[in-house]
A = this chain, B = another copy of it.
Amino acid sequence: MRDALDCARCAAAAAPSLAGADSQMRSAAIVAAADRLLARASDVIEANGRDMARAVEAGMSAPLRDRLLLDEGRVASMAASMREVAAQPDPLGRVIGGRTLDSGIRMEQVTVPLGVVAIVYEARPNVTADAIALCLRSGNACVLRGGSAAAESCEAIADACVEGVVSVGLPRDSCTLVTKPGHEQTTELMHANGLVDVLIPRGGASLIRACLEGSTVPVIETGMGNCHIYIESSADVEMARDIVVNAKTSRPGVCNAAESLLCDRAIAEKALPVVCAALSERGVELVGDPEAVGIATSHGVPMSHASEEDWGTEYLDLKMSVRCVSGVEEAISCINHYGTGHSECIVSSDYDASERFLRGVDAAAVYVNASTRFTDGGMFGLGTEIGISTQKLHVRGPMGASALTSTKYLLRGEGQTR
């Protein structure tokens, strides 16, 4: 069993080797890790079987069990994601700025690894493989802390990947997994200043809040998504219906699913009955403000009254809040008040209203006429993601390998003094 501080120390010791490895070697390590993962798929699936058995015994809910489950297809898709990351352009050593200073010193600003990245996640074993691939691509050593319910799966995945990493000549501790149980291991990571450069919590609200409030190591806030869809007065009602249904029901448990529907008063009588009926048919429980409730119920669509708390709630379930607003400005201020800065959408055929919405809404991803479900590293072309940042510092939105880099100024002179 390996504790958090041991992992952090060993990862910090391995970090310079990773930072010094060239692009080809880092990619080769990912490909080798993916190869070993496939070669050891049966071990991984067996380990997952033991986690699943415990989960069933512990009464884990079906959606959580589904996230935990690994089969051959899922192992293959983890390996495929890793290969996609390996094939991406090198995020390191990119010259992102430069100038000759007045003194004649030649300055360039280049991208460099962060150093050691710690990722704390829940019972989603695939995060282990995603994190290893993205950290290797960006030249970072990593400390992984998976959820206890996925302990055996994560260990089997990490073991296989580390074999690959070692096979190309990179240090074993390039990727470390905290296997000692107990919440205090996460707390150790939160205070491993000087060893861990960034902590990325990936999971539920309470995990993220605990890291934000308790950590002295810099944290990247991820994944809270109280996402809205605003049906503007010029919207095509069928398009609105399709987008809302997709954003709400295609995968209700994920952070880019929509949770709240705003409808312009000017189109509410026309749009709400259609959209709400479609949601209701798919089993979505609706709560709304008095106006929305009036319109829905008068058309035979069940909707109960929303409480103030509803507007700020990320249901992650087949439930949606509905509210009438007077125009795009009210929609924007409502979203900026209740939203979590994740993904927000306007359905509109009016150019001016759409552009005002794009400008005015303060979120990682703002959509015109498309489902919020597109906010995702794979969809955005990053291969996979280590999380979706809902903060404004450092990185915002889906985080790929380049989100795990910093910069450094290199200055070359001939004896200049000031």
Contact = CB atoms under 8 A, between A and B. Distances in A.
Contacts of A396: 406-409
A359 interface: yes
A391 B414 CA distance: 28
A117 B364 CA distance: 18
A417 B250 contact: yes
Interface string A378-418: 01110000000001111011000000001111111111111
Q: Count identical subunits in the complex.
A: 2
Interface residues of A, number: 67
A393 B198 contact: yes
Nearest to A114: B392
A308 B163 CA distance: 40
Given A394-B394, A411-B370, A417 B101 contact: no
A127 B354 CA distance: 39
A6 to B, nearest CB: 19
Interface in A88-104: 99, 101-103
Interface stretch (A145-153, A211-219, A284-292): A211-219
Contacts of A417: 242-243, 245-247, 250, 370-371, 373
Contact of A374 (B99, B103, B245): B103
A162 interface: no
Nearest to A93: B359
Given A365-B411, A367-B412, 20 more contacts: A20-B359, A99-B381, A101-B381, A103-B379, A112-B362, A212-B216, A213-B216, A243-B415, A243-B417, A246-B417, A250-B417, A354-B412, A362-B408, A368-B413, A369-B412, A370-B411, A371-B417, A396-B408, A396-B409, A397-B407
